[in-house]
Amino acid sequence: MKTKVQWITRTGVLLAVLIVLQAVTKSLGQLVTGSCVNAVLAVAALTCGLGSGLVIALVSPVLAFLLGIAPQLVTVPAIMAGNAVFVLVLSRIAAGGTVKKVLLWLAAAAAKFAVLYLLVVKLICGVMAPGLLEGGMLKAPMLKALPVMFAWPQLFTALIGGGIALLMAPVLRKALHR
């Protein structure tokens, strides 16, 4: 019982941190906000486990949309998938030496980038664009902006956020007695 309560509490605290960071950094741009979000996702995976990381990975894009950070509702499932892949790969870091941790961090960032690029740039802005434009789910200016937002910046924010979390996780695990 104690462990479940701790998990819920820690996940809730990290979700609250995520909401505050999204709200506070919203005006600072994608690089800052995205890096902060990825740091929280990674900290959750590295200190609280895969379940906590996945909960935050799936809730984060919905909150971003509600806060006006996620550009379009149609991108929310893609962001969820990218976040989930990021957390899944990072959660494998728990055991292993420095080289393994660095390789998994790089792989997690690359995997998130690849998922978002394929889903948003190629699928949403490519294959699905005519139907989304016609149905009013996507505006023409956003069709031009999304490929820029969901390309290289995603790799950079995942690398920055994951790197920050790798530095923070040992200290947090020690503080949490894990």
Tell me the pLDDT tens digit for each residue of 100-113: 889 999 999 999 99
Q: Output 39 or 141, whichever has higher pLDDT.
A: 39
pLDDT score recorded for residue 178: 60
pLDDT interval class at 129 (50, 70, 90)? confident
Mean pLDDT, residues 28-36 taken together: 94
Q: Is the pLDDT of residue 21 over 90?
A: yes
Closest CA relative to residue 120, chosen from 68, 83, 90: 83
What does the domain layout of the chain look like in residue ranges?
A: 2-175
Q: Which residues contact 170 (CB under 8 A, 6 or more apart)?
A: none
What Cα–Cα distance (Å) separates residue 150 from each residue in 33, 52, 147? 14, 25, 5
What is the b/e burial string over 5-28, where b = at least 16 CB atoms within 10 angstroms of the residue's CB?
eeeeebbeebbebbbebbeebeee
Tokens of residue 54, six digits: 């996945």
pLDDT score recorded for residue 130: 86
pLDDT score recorded for residue 68: 82
Question: Residue 97: left if φ>0, alpha if ψ -120 to 50, beta else—which one?
Answer: beta
What Cα–Cα distance (Å) separates residue 4 from each residue in 51, 94, 178? 11, 20, 14
Measured distance CA(157)–CA(36) in Å, rounded:
8
CATH class of 2-175: mainly alpha
For the chain, percent of residues with pLDDT exceeding 90? 68
Q: Is the pLDDT of residue 7 over 80?
A: yes
